[in-house]
Structure 1
Amino acid sequence: MTVNDTAPQRRAATKKTSLDKDLNKFMTLEQAGRSVAARLAAPGLALVFLVLAGLYAGLTMGLSSTTLIIVVAAVLGGYMALTIGANDVANNVGPAVGARALTLVGALVIAATFETAGALVAGGDVVATISKGIVDPALVPDSDTFIWAMMAALLSSAMWVHVATWIGAPVSTTHSVVGGVMGAGIAAAGFSAVNWATVGTITASWVISPLLGGVVAAGFLAVIKINIVYQDDKIAAARRWVPLLMAVMAAAFACYLAVKGLKKVWHPDALEIAILGVSVFALTFIATRPWVYYQSEGMENRNQSLRKLFHLPLICSAALLSFAHGANDVANAVGPLAAIVHTVEFGEFSSKVNIPIWIMLIGAVGISLGLFLYGPRLIRMVGQQITKMNPMRAFCVALSAAFTVILASALGLPVSSTHIAVGAVFGVGFFREYYTAHSRRRREYMRKQRKGAADRWDDSLAPHEELQRRKLVRRAHFTTIVAAWVVTVPVAALLSAGIYGVTLLIR
């Protein structure tokens, strides 16, 4: 067969038939459909949860003239729980994920499990209906006004946390609820109903929380760098210091859980908390010394080897922080809901109410579902995008989150756990910037290790360019998050007042 004879056959073989064209079109449509379905899966599951929450509330309370109000309140409480899971839980597991001590899936499973356990086992069975004493209940005119004010507070808080999650800013859900209650209280009973001294105290926590968290985290990172990282014999230094640091972390978390996470099952005084902390410190130090020695045998004398020693503490800290968060912050979602149910049932509102188990279930399941559906974005933000994490830095962030709460409680200072955790991430990043540029110990160590050939200022760059190169905290994320913190209470208050005003028109 000649070349001329085969050419037309080859062209005919490579030419697409009508069937091939149709199949390609179907494949394109199928891929587009899968893409759309993937984007709609999370909102669809969230919607199913809200519908089930409403049905569950209606069936639990039974059919009556007030059932519709309870169903709507349950949907709003479920919505708030979803947004808390999407936004607030990232602070507990983000650093461990960024340090690669946990995979994203592992972090989601651990956080969801311990958030649910904390909410159901140690979640407060009695919560304040007017969050943080912002509004005086005696000045609320009647029960109907109270119910609609609580609904406005729930919806506005959830909407703001939803927006903050969308823009990638971890915010305090407690501050969101405070703003919602304040706005609804002003709309319902006037400015005189608000306890402005309490508002001022909460405002102070915007500054106190991140600063304390950042300073404490930077302090622990300095201890690790000076005493372990920049030592000639890193393994020997780690064997001395890592058990001590792990004991400090264990003691801090024991006290943290006693103060914040076990309020439902235990009410220790200051002496009992101190005894608990000292006992846990001693036991952990004794137990971890042989473990660290065993783990460090055969390790190379380099920083990469040391990081493995911090993986287990990070996993434990992620679990304990999630448990404490579930126990402490589930009330942000279900507190107003419990207040509405109590008022509907008894025709009166109270400053404190019991939370039925069915309401706690809505909060616990909603937080876990919100974490799975929308949490990964904020987890990556906290753990990877603000500043680069490794196990030692993440350890300092987790230790700061527990230690700062204990310190602030002892000093009587108002703090936000969200602001502390994110402030600790900022503190680690800014400390690294400063230490990289100004530490004589670091420069001497690097010169000794690399004979002065590495990690020096690049003379080819202009001073401004060199300064920009050494900024280890992303300023865009920093300004976005700080701005979101500042506007959380006023924005939630304005939204709540507006929503309450709308309810007056439709009632």
Structure 2
Amino acid sequence: MLLTMLDAILLVVALAVALGNGANDNFKGFATIWGSETLTYRKALWLATAATIAGSVASIWLAHGLVETFSGKGLVPPASAGSAHFLLSVAIGAAITIALATRFGLPVSTTHALIGGLVGAGLGQADGVVHWAPLIHSFVAPLLISPAVAALLGGIAGRLTKKHPDPQADCACVVMPHPATVAANGIAALAPPAPHLVVANPAECDGLDAAVRVSVSRSLDRAHIASAASICFARGVNDTPKLAALLLAAHALGASVSVAAIGALMGIGGLLFARRVAETMSRRVTSIGHRDGLGANFVTAMLVLFASKLGMPVSTTHVAVGAIAGIGAAGGTLDRAALRNIVLSWVATLPLAAAISYLMVPVIASRF
């Protein structure tokens, strides 16, 4: 199919949004992994990239409803929703906003930027109509509620992890006691051994006749890494359809190819440009221990996957930061100044993207 100039530009800008999304968002699942020094930055980055791409592929089956949501359907009049002129304005606003935030190491929401772009482009149309009720119900409410829920659940997880009785008890052993001879009605009988679990420090475990012995810290590290991968997978599921809506409007690629292109650009963006945002989330919000990180990641993955299944456009950024902040608040290690800067960047994301998209509407209309 021969592309028009407008479709070609929309294709390029949509891929730029995917690149920026990867740069700003890919590492967020592994922020607690690097922050707790479970893995090096490079190893964590590669695992985050692989999990994100896997989530992008899975979005074909798990989150198709989000493609329609981010075409603008229901938010603006049908004549605008899904049109290349409209979505190009949306994409430019989102791309510039995400690029600026990533440059300054601020973990913002691609979802928030896209919503701002939808609102600004809608207001910039000739009729200037935006349906505010669907905006609040389908977009704003999930974005406001999700970080609060994540912080609450993160605080609960933080308190639960603090209840571990002995941080030095790093060895879990299944001990098989020796059979004992007992008498029952004067007749000797052999009592079967009853295995039991012992959690102690490694020195104490050395003196036990253990049938099975595992390291608690290593098991937690593996679970922590798995939880981080699940967040990146969930983010890929939730974000890819939003960006695929832009590509589909360009009439250049089919649905499957659009998803593959978005996943590839998200991966490249993360590999090349994720470092600054990674440092903010891993090092500045709060200090993170192994158990804390596992709790925060579990909360984030659970909420994002649940929202994706319901077609709710929550922000992985908001949920992840909310969970980490809840953990920090529970442990008394939260850096409120760093959190304030992040929240302020969230507040600025939507109006900035809206303003850019609004200004782009007449520019695009005059040239195409």
TM tier relative to shorter chain: 0.7 to 0.9
Give structure 2 stretches of 5+ with no counterpart: 175-194, 206-214
User: 1:504 maps to what in 2?
Assistant: 365
Q: Render the CA deviation track for 1:352-381: whole Å, top value 9, x for unaligned.
A: xx9433322221111000001111221221
1:197 to 133, 149, 161: 133
The alpha carbon displacement at 1:203 in A equals 2.6
User: 2:330 maps to what in 1?
Assistant: 431
Query: In the alignment, is the contact (CA less than 8 A) between 1:180 and 1:489 conserved in 2?
Result: yes
User: 1:487 maps to what in 2?
Assistant: 348
User: 1:333 maps to what in 2?
Assistant: 243
User: 2:7 maps to what in 1?
Assistant: 70
User: How far, CA to CA, are the matches of 2:119 and 2:320 in structure 1?
Assistant: 25
1:324 to 218, 227, 234: 234
User: 1:475 maps to what in 2?
Assistant: 336
User: 1:157 maps to what in 2?
Assistant: 94
Distance 1:199 1:119, change over 3 A: same
Match status 1:377 vs 2:276: yes
User: 1:235 maps to what in 2?
Assistant: 169
User: How far, CA to CA, are the matches of 1:409 and 1:71 in structure 2?
Assistant: 30
TM-score (norm: length of structure 1)? 0.59
Q: Render the CA deviation track for 1:32-76: whole Å, top value 9, x for unaligned.
A: xxxxxxxxxxxxxxxxxxxxxxxxxxxxx4xx3x34333222211
Structure (1 or 2) with the larger CA radius of gyration: 1
Distance 1:67 1:206, change over 3 A: closer
Distance 1:133 1:418, change over 3 A: farther
User: How far, CA to CA, are the matches of 1:410 and 1:376 in structure 2?
Assistant: 30
Give structure 1 stretches of 5+ with no counterpart: 1-60, 241-289, 343-353, 434-471
User: How far, CA to CA, are the matches of 2:21 and 2:264 in structure 1?
Assistant: 11
User: How far, CA to CA, are the matches of 2:329 and 2:265 in structure 1?
Assistant: 35
The alpha carbon displacement at 1:189 in A equals 4.4
Query: In the alignment, is the contact (CA less than 8 A) between 1:161 and 1:173 conserved in 2?
Result: yes
Equivalences for 1:243-262 in 2 at 5 Å?
none
Distance 1:426 1:79, change over 3 A: same
Secondary structure at the counterpart of residue 220 of structure 1: helix
Stretch deviating more after TM superposition (325-334 or 100-109): 325-334
Match status 1:183 vs 2:120: yes
The alpha carbon displacement at 1:410 in A equals 10
Q: Render the CA deviation track for 1:71-100: whole Å, top value 9, x for unaligned.
A: 222211110111100111222111111111
Distance 1:416 1:125, change over 3 A: closer
The one-letter amino acid of 1:105's match is: R
1:222 to 142, 159, 164: 159
Q: How many residues align?
A: 334
Q: Which structure dedicates a bigger proportion of its chain to helix?
A: 1
Query: In the alignment, is the contact (CA less than 8 A) between 1:330 and 1:363 conserved in 2?
Result: yes
User: 2:286 maps to what in 1?
Assistant: 387
Secondary structure at the counterpart of residue 341 of structure 1: coil
User: How far, CA to CA, are the matches of 1:121 and 1:83 in structure 2?
Assistant: 21
The one-letter amino acid of 1:419's match is: H
Q: Render the CA deviation track for 1:5-45: whole Å, top value 9, x for unaligned.
A: xxxxxxxxxxxxxxxxxxxxxxxxxxxxxxxxxxxxxxxxx
The alpha carbon displacement at 1:118 in A equals 2.0
Distance 1:111 1:149, change over 3 A: same
The alpha carbon displacement at 1:331 in A equals 2.0
Distance 1:323 1:407, change over 3 A: closer
The one-letter amino acid of 2:92's match is: L
Match status 1:368 vs 2:267: yes
Equivalences for 1:412-427 in 2 at 5 Å?
415-427=314-326
User: How far, CA to CA, are the matches of 1:232 and 1:104 in structure 2?
Assistant: 29
2:30 to 93, 113, 138: 93
Query: In the alignment, is the contact (CA less than 8 A) between 1:133 and 1:195 conserved in 2?
Result: no
Distance 1:133 1:297, change over 3 A: farther
User: 2:184 maps to what in 1?
Assistant: none
1:138 to 63, 78, 82: 78
User: How far, CA to CA, are the matches of 2:330 and 2:103 in structure 1?
Assistant: 29
Higher RCO (C-alpha 8 Å, min separation 6): 2
The alpha carbon displacement at 1:125 in A equals 5.8
TM-score (norm: length of structure 2)? 0.80
Distance 1:375 1:428, change over 3 A: same
The one-letter amino acid of 1:115's match is: T
Query: In the alignment, is the contact (CA less than 8 A) between 1:307 and 1:392 conserved in 2?
Result: no
